[in-house]
Amino acid sequence: MLKLILNNRKYIGKHYMKQKIDSFLDNLILERGLSSNTLQAYKNDLYQVCNFLESQKTNNWNTVTVDTLNKYTNIITKEKMYQETTIARKIAAIKSFFSFLLEEGEITDNPSESISSPKIGRQLPKFLTEEQTEQLLKTAAKDKSAEGIRNYGILELLYATGLRVTELINLNISDINLNSAEIKCFGKGAKQRIVSIHKFAVQALTTYMETSRPKLMQDKTEKAFFINRRGERLTRQWIWSILKLLAKTSKIKIPITPHILRHSFATHLLRAGASVRHVQEMLGHADLSTTQVYTHITNDHLKKAFEKSHPLG
């Protein structure tokens, strides 16, 4: 009987570990809108890590150590003979996954932080043009229903602050001060930061609070700032669906996700002359190098503008 119980506990451990990977993949679909090929690659990469950990008698993500992960990366780097781009993707998948676990409270420390990755060219993030963003906002503003007013407020806030989707859905009424045009949000690792809100976003959120939220509200004790038609806190899937619908209505052909709006926010700020440090603080990036990727986009933009306008161009 004891052997049977232990076998069941071992099975539950394996199930738990891969279940968390599946939850992470669902999050990638909703937050970043990744392609099916990329998602399948991430799934294969993380399941491979999971199988390795199980071979090391590790059946809980919270007990994974830096030494164990280093042992795995040494194997894929030296013994498996993967290409550098494949190794970089596998390590990126590991880092993203453990950041997700930390954000979700599944682990208390991130053992993947010290893992090094091969130095290869960094892919620039996708973003909307200023014209596409304006088109999206104008389309959203036309819907005067309770949910339409809420959706417009969500869009204005995402573009005005560059919030992550998790930060957005976790906002409570007490976190937003429309009088001072500031919001308090909790980023990765439960780090708190104060972000200023543009006046257009303040207007949209004020309208939502005064006219839309009271119509949607069913439970007067609900603390969530953004709620659905049942008066409950929105989910990642709700936000993703809202943006997908707005993109379709706006006839914008590229997929629009909260992450793309975050990239658009950062890129447009830098093009307008904001400092990298300022943008870093607003985005909640722990490392400046994460923010500096946007400078490559703005530099490319300036180079093209220079070549186009130069008299010898």
Q: How far is CA 153 from CA 118, 226, 283, 292, in A?
A: 41, 9, 19, 29
Active site residues per annotation:
164, 188, 259, 262, 285, 294
Distance from C-alpha of 195 to C-alpha of 192, rounded to nearest angstrom: 10
Q: Where are the beta strands (DSSP E) in 92-202?
A: 176-177, 182-186, 192-196
Say which residues have a Cβ less than 8 Å from residue 278's Cβ, sequence separation at least 6: 269
Distance from C-alpha of 257 to C-alpha of 226, rounded to nearest angstrom: 17
Quick one: pLDDT at residue 12?
41
Contact at 8 Å (CB) between 115 and 87? no
Output the six-digit token pair for 20: 């968390």
Q: How far is CA 8 from CA 16, 35, 54, 62, 213, in A?
A: 12, 35, 15, 20, 47
Phi, psi of 81 (to 5 degrees): 60, 45
Domain over 130-306 is classified CATH 3.90.1150.10: no
Question: What is the CATH code for 2-103?
Answer: 1.10.150.130
* Stretch (H or E) spanning 300: helix 288-309
Query: How many CB atoms are located within 10 Å of the residue 266 CB?
Result: 26
Say which residues have a Cβ less than 8 Å from residue 4's Cβ, sequence separation at least 6: none
Quick one: pLDDT at residue 32?
65
Quick one: pLDDT at residue 35?
65
Quick one: pLDDT at residue 86?
84
Quick one: pLDDT at residue 186?
78
Quick one: pLDDT at residue 161?
86
Q: What is the domain partition of the chain in residue ranges?
A: 2-103, 130-306
Digitized pLDDT (tens) for each residue of the chain, 313 residues in all:
333 322 333 334 457 788 899 988 888 876 666 667 778 888 999 999 999 999 988 888 989 999 999 899 888 887 666 777 788 888 888 998 998 898 888 888 889 888 877 665 555 567 788 899 999 999 999 999 999 999 999 999 998 888 888 889 999 999 999 999 999 987 665 677 888 888 999 999 999 999 999 999 998 899 999 999 999 999 988 898 889 899 899 988 887 888 888 888 888 877 777 666 666 666 665 554 554 555 554 444 433 433 443 344 4
